[in-house]
């Protein structure tokens, strides 16, 4: 027993060092839900407050830019007003964000919750965005986040008044995407090189692709509303090893300069999850 | 100024510079990431005990992680740096920790060459461990070596500039 204490005293510094390293590495490498939630909450509470203050100053500097963008979006929305569209008697309207159960009822599938972005990074390998809207205002993990120009990312952590979004510029982010004009289902990821460009892989070579084609979210995604722009094809490369393309996609959203976003709530998500759970049970 | 107060102010400044300035500077290349915050640990006084140094490093790393949203990454690197700092100093200057006054490592207290060795060595250790951990999660070997070299050079450049601008230890003596 005496020797044990002697040993502990002698190597106390090394033991503390080892314990700290193990704690840090466990935090880093385990995908523990409890720990993630706790870290997310602590970090949201501590950094959220400070980020909010810094953001207030930064936002002031880009006011005119944001104003211009909001005006542009207003113009788009105004042009969509019914008074601006002439519908002849035989015409019918297809609304993409509603699901028709039968010919009488219309269900709303997506609800957009507006939120302000209070912190954002594009220069790291794993970039996150913080929204000033949390669980108290209806944001939940796994919701999609879109901007005025296109997709931004997915909510990963939520605290009471803030939420943390994994942006498309994250090496762990993966979004199912398709080409606007045709077939082909691919995966959008980021290689960490340039925040202006994303990678689109897994599109088969049978699809004809040209520079400038629009990449949009796929109808098979359960988070993102279908048809939202992700970017435009910037460079087409053939993957020598497989039968697919590697496409460099210019982001639709200017990640350097996003201030406002919408968290997208899928109102049918519960129902979808219910069905999926049945599959697992079997 | 009180040593503790001085270091708390320094901690806040280093964190603010790292998170709100360096983190938002557009990099020239994906390899060039400016890391400066760990200089706080390099500049702590000589007489701090090893245990205290480890705990300070843990807390400092955790604060950085909170802003970078990387649970554990900076903690691991900071603790690693803090563990190796005292043996490194002893290797360069054979003197007991208790023999020092309130001085902290600088060109004046350590001498030109030992200080440069100290800064280069520990910066390399910190960046090596940090980028190694990142490499284990993603990236190739080229990514690892390229980023290690570029990042260390940028860190060293910033430390040199900081040392030229600030005249530390002038008032404590």
Contact B169, B3 (CB under 8 A): no
CATH number reported for the structural domain that contains residue A223 in this entry:
2.40.10.340
Smallest Cβ–Cβ distance between B27 and the set A14, A39, A123 belongs to: A123
| pLDDT score, position A251 | 92
Asked whether residue A171 falls in the same domain as residue A255, the answer is: yes
Identify the domain containing residue A11 by its residue range: 2-61
pLDDT value of residue A81? 72
Asked if the structure places residue A279 within a domain, the reply is: no
Domain boundary among the residues A13, A46, A61 is at: A61
- The total number of structural domains in chain A stands at 2
User: Where does the pLDDT of residue A83 fall: very low under 50, low under 70, confident under 90, or very high at 90 and above?
Assistant: low
Nearest Cβ partner of A21 from B27, B68, B79?
A: B79
Whether residue A119 has pLDDT greater than 90: no
User: Are A115 and A223 in a shared domain?
Assistant: yes
**Whether residues A142 and A230 fall in one domain:** yes
Closest alpha carbon to A155 in A224, A208, A205, A95? A224
Contact B73 A12 (CB under 8 A): no
Please tell me the predicted confidence (pLDDT) of residue B173: 41
CA-based nearest residue in chain B for residue A22: B76
Q: What is the Cα–Cα distance from A151 to A160, expressed in whole angstroms?
A: 24
Alpha carbon dihedral A206, A208, A213, A215, in 10-degree steps, equals -10
Q: What was the ipTM of the complex prediction?
A: 0.83
Give which of A28, A49, A130, A165 to mutate to test B binding, by max B Cβ within 10 Å: A28
Residue in A10, A59, A125, A167 to test binding to B, most B beta-carbons within 10 Å? A125
pLDDT of residue B172: 45
pLDDT at A188: 92
Q: Is the dihedral of CA B80, B82, B85, B87 positive or negative?
A: negative
pLDDT tens digit sequence for A50-62: 888 888 887 888 8
> Is the CB of B83 less than 8 angstroms away from the CB of A28?
no
Per-residue pLDDT band at A133 (split at 50, 70, 90): confident
Q: Which CATH number is B3-165 given?
A: 1.10.1760
Please report whether residue A77 resides in a domain: no
| One domain, residues A167 and A220 | yes
Q: Can you give the pLDDT at residue B118? A: 92
Q: Which helix (H) or strand (E) holds B85?
A: helix B73-92
Residue with more model confidence, A221 or A188: A188
What residues pair up with A131 in beta bridges, in sequence order?
A: A117, A163
- Name A98's bridge partners: A108
Residue A282 resides in a domain: no
A215, containing H or E segment? strand A214-217
Q: Which residues of A touch B80 (CB under 8 A)?
A: 21
pLDDT of res. B77: 94
Residue A274 in domain:
no
Same-domain pairing of A246 and A187: yes
User: Which band of pLDDT confidence, cut at 50, 70 and 90, is reported for residue A191?
Assistant: confident
Which among B87, B85, B93 is positioned nearest to B60, based on CA atoms? B85
Structure tokens at A161: 């008044």
The closest of A132, A83, A136, A125 to A261, measured between CA atoms, is A132
Structure tokens at B164: 């030229």
Q: Are residues A122 and A246 in the same domain?
A: yes
Q: Does residue A227 sit within a domain?
A: yes
- The length of chain A is 282
Query: Which of B23, B67, B79 minimises the CB distance to A123?
Result: B23
Residue A137's pLDDT is what? Answer: 86
Three-state secondary-structure class, residue A231: strand
d(CA A217, CA A232): 12
């Amino acid at each position: 027993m005496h020797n044990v204490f002697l040993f502990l005293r002698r190597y106390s510094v090394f033991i503390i060092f080892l314990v700290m390293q193990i704690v840090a590495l466990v935090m880093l490498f385990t995908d523990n839900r409890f720990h993630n939630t706790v870290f997310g909450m602590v970090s949201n509470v501590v950094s959220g407050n400070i980020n909010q203050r810094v953001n207030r100053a930064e936002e002031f500097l880009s006011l005119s830019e944001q104003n211009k963008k909001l005006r542009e979006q207003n113009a788009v929305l105004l042009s969509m007003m019914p008074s601006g569209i002439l519908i002849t008697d035989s015409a019918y309207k297809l609304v993409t964000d509603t699901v028709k159960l039968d010919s009488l009822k219309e269900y709303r599938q997506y609800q957009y919750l507006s939120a302000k972005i209070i912190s954002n990074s594009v220069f790291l390998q794993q970039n996150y965005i913080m929204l000033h809207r949390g669980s108290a205002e209806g944001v939940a993990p796994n919701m999609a986040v879109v901007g005025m120009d296109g997709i931004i990312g997915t909510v990963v952590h939520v605290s009471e008044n803030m939420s943390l979004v994994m942006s498309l510029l994250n090496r762990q982010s993966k979004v199912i995407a398709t080409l606007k004009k045709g077939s082909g289902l691919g995966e959008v990821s980021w290689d960490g090189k340039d925040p202006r460009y994303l990678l689109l892989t897994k599109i088969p070579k049978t699809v004809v692709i040209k520079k400038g084609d629009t990449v949009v979210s796929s109808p098979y995604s359960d988070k993102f509303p279908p048809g939202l722009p992700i970017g435009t094809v910037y460079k087409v490369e053939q993957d020598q090893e497989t039968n697919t393309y590697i496409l460099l996609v210019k982001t639709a959203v200017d990640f350097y300069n996003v201030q406002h976003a919408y968290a997208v709530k899928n109102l049918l998500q519960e129902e979808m999850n219910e069905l999926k759970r049945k599959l697992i049970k079997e | 100024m009180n040593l503790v107060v001085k270091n708390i102010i320094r901690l806040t400044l280093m964190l603010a510079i790292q998170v709100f300035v360096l983190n938002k500077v557009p990099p020239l290349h994906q390899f060039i990431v400016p890391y400066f915050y760990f200089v706080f640990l390099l500049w702590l006084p000589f007489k701090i005990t090893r245990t205290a140094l480890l705990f300070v490093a843990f807390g400092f790393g955790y604060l950085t992680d909170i802003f970078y949203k990387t649970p554990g990454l900076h903690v691991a690197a900071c603790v690693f740096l803090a563990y190796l700092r005292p043996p490194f100093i002893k290797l360069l200057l054979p003197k007991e920790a208790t023999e020092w006054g309130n001085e902290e490592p600088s060109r004046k207290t350590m001498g030109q060459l030992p200080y440069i060795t100290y800064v280069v060595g520990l910066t390399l250790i910190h960046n090596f461990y940090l980028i190694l951990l990142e490499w284990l999660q993603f990236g190739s070997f080229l990514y690892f070596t390229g980023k290690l070299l570029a990042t260390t050079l940028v860190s060293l450049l910033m430390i040199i500039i900081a040392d030229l601008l600030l005249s530390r230890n002038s008032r404590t003596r």
